[in-house]
C-alpha cells in the first residue's frame, strides 16, 4: 500500500468512468518509452533509479561535510538557481519549523539561499545579515558560468577570503558541479574545494535527491537517509503502468484528460505555510518539463486558506480553465487549541477548545465542495506527515508523474530549449564577448 494516497473522488462530474480505461494504452506506451529509454530525452532518466542507484561514498561525504559545517558555522549559504536551489529550499522548509532561522537552541546553522536573482539589494542584505559570524557556502552550478550564482559566488567568496584568508576560505567552500568539466569544476580542482557531483543523467529540476539538494538539506538537520528511503519505496510503488495500481500515473493521466477538455492551468495548493516553497519546486518541475511546442499545462500555486482571500473569487467564478491539486498534510508537526472566551465578541465560541487542525481540515473539505460546484476539478495528494520519508516519497510521486505526463502530451519532458532565449538577449545587452551582432540589433530596437 502506498505511503501517500491520491484522491480523485471529486472529479466525478469532470471525468467519466470510462476515460481512464481509454487513456490506459497511451499510459502503457509512455511507460515503455520511459523504462526502455526509447523516448525523447532518454539520457536524463537518472531520477528513476536515483533513490537506490547513487554514490554511497559521496553520500557519506555529504553527511560528513554537513556535520563539519554544523560544527564551525553559524550561517550556511546555498548558492544556486532553479533546480540548484528550489528543491533544497522546499525540503528544508517542509522539514523544519516555520521560523527555523530565528529559533534559538538549534544545533544547526541558519540557512539562506543566494544566486537566485540579480538583485544587488538582496545580496547586500544577506552580506549584512551574515555580518562577522562564521559561515560556509555551497556553490551549486553544473557549468559554473550561470550569471546569478556566479555573481553571488564572487561576492561571498570575497567575504570568506577577507575573513579567513585564502587557505581558510577553501575549507568553507563546497562545490557541487559537473563530474569532469566546466568553470566551477576547474576552479574547485585548482583551489582544493571539497566537491560533489551533479549527475550527468539528471536535469536540474530532478536533482533534489542528488548532492545538489542533499548537502543543504543535511546541513539544515534533515534526515537524508529517510529522505532517500521514502523515494526508494515510491520507486517500487510507482513502477506498474496500470493506472488503477499506480497513483502517480493515475494523476498524470487525469491531468491530461482534464487538459484536453480545456483545463489548461493547474494550481498546486497547500494548507500549511511551510509548503509554499514546495509549490515553487513543483512549478519548475512541471513548467520546464511540459511547456514546449506551444503545448503544456500552465503550473501555478496557491497557499490556502491565505490565498482564498485574494484568489478565491477568481477560482470560484473566473475563467473555467483551472484544475487544482492539493498537497494535504494529514498530521502537522504541531497544533494549537483555540481558547474559550466568555465574552465571545469575535463569534468564535463554536470553535472553543477545538484544534486548529480540525478547523483547517473542515476548510479544506468546504473549499473542495465549493470549487467543484463552481466547475473546478480538484485532486488531492494526502501526505501522512511532514517528515523526511514522506517528503522523499512525495518528490518521487511528482517526478514520475511529470515524465509520463510529458510523453502523453507528445513532448520531451527532460529538455528545456526555451530557457536560453532570454539569456542570449541579456548577454548581448550586457556586452558579453561573442554577442556583438546581437548587441547591435537589440540596442537598435531599444532606441526606436
Residue among 191, 145, 147 nearest 171 (CA)? 191
**Catalytic site includes residue 423:** yes
For 209, counting Cβ atoms within 10 Å of its Cβ (0-12 exposed, 13-18 middle, 19+ buried), the class is buried
Cell 473539505 belongs to which residue? 365
| C-alpha to C-alpha distance for 246 and 6, rounded to whole angstroms | 10
**Catalytic site includes residue 288:** yes
From 195, 288, 290, 324, the catalytic residue: 288
H/E element holding 68?
helix 56-72
From 423, 436, 440, 441, the catalytic residue: 423
DSSP structure class, residue 292: B
What is the SS3 assignment for 128-195?
Answer: HHHCCCCEEEEEECCCCCCHHHHHHHHHHHHHHHHHHHHHHHHCCEEEEECCCCCHHHHHHHHHCCEE
Extract the C-alpha cell encoding 211.
Answer: 548532492
| C-alpha to C-alpha distance for 90 and 311, rounded to whole angstroms | 23
| C-alpha to C-alpha distance for 138 and 157, rounded to whole angstroms | 10
Give the residue numbers marked as catalytic: 288, 423
Amino acid at each position: 500500500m502506498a505511503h501517500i494516497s491520491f484522491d480523485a473522488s471529486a472529479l466525478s462530474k469532470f471525468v467519466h468512468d470510462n476515460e481512464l480505461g481509454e487513456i490506459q494504452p497511451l499510459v502503457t506506451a509512455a511507460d515503455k518509452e520511459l523504462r526502455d529509454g526509447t523516448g525523447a530525452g532518454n539520457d536524463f532518466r537518472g531520477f528513476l533509479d536515483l533513490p537506490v542507484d547513487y554514490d554511497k561514498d559521496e553520500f557519506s561525504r555529504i553527511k560528513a561535510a554537513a556535520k563539519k559545517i554544523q560544527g564551525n558555522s553559524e550561517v550556511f549559504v546555498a548558492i544556486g538557481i532553479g533546480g540548484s536551489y528550489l528543491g533544497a529550499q522546499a525540503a528544508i522548509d517542509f522539514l523544519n519549523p516555520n521560523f527555523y532561522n530565528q529559533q534559538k537552541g538549534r544545533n544547526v546553522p541558519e540557512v539562506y539561499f543566494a544566486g537566485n536573482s540579480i538583485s544587488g539589494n538582496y545580496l547586500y542584505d544577506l552580506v549584512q545579515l551574515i555580518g562577522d559570524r562564521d559561515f560556509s557556502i555551497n556553490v551549486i552550478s553544473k557549468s559554473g558560468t550561470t550569471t546569478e550564482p556566479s555573481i553571488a559566488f564572487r561576492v561571498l567568496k570575497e567575504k570568506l577570503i577577507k575573513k579567513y584568508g585564502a587557505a581558510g576560505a577553501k575549507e568553507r567552500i563546497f562545490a557541487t558541479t559537473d563530474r569532469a568539466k566546466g568553470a566551477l569544476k576547474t576552479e574547485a580542482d585548482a583551489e582544493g574545494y571539497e566537491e560533489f557531483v551533479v549527475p550527468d543523467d539528471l536535469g536540474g529540476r530532478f536533482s533534489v535527491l542528488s548532492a545538489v539538494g542533499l548537502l543543504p538539506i543535511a546541513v539544515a538537520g534533515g534526515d537524508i537517509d529517510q529522505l532517500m528511503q521514502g523515494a526508494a519505496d515510491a520507486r517500487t510503488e510507482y513502477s506498474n503502468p496500470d493506472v488503477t495500481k499506480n497513483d502517480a500515473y493515475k494523476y498524470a493521466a487525469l491531468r491530461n484528460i482534464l487538459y484536453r477538455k480545456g483545463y489548461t492551468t493547474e494550481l498546486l495548493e497547500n494548507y500549511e505555510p511551510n509548503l509554499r516553497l514546495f509549490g515553487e519546486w513543483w512549478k519548475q518541475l512541471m513548467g520546464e518539463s511540459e511547456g514546449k511546442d506551444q503545448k503544456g499545462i500552465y503550473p501555478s500555486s496557491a497557499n490556502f486558506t491565505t490565498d482564498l482571500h485574494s484568489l478565491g473569487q477568481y477560482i470560484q467564478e473566473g475563467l473555467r480553465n483551472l484544475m487544482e491539486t492539493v498537497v494535504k498534510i494529514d498530521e502537522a508537526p504541531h497544533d494549537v487549541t483555540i481558547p474559550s472566551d466568555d465574552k465571545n465578541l469575535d463569534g468564535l465560541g463554536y470553535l472553543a477548545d477545538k484544534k486548529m487542525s480540525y478547523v483547517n481540515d473542515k476548510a479544506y473539505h468546504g473549499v473542495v465542495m465549493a470549487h467543484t460546484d463552481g466547475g473546478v476539478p480538484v485532486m488531492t495528494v494526502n501526505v501522512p506527515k511532514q517528515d523526511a520519508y514522506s517528503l522523499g516519497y512525495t518528490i518521487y510521486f511528482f517526478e514520475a508523474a511529470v515524465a509520463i505526463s510529458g510523453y502523453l502530451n507528445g513532448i520531451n519532458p527532460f529538455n528545456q530549449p526555451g530557457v536560453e532565449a532570454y539569456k542570449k538577449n541579456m548577454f548581448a545587452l550586457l556586452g558579453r564577448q561573442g554577442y556583438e551582432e546581437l548587441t547591435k540589433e537589440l540596442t537598435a530596437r531599444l532606441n526606436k
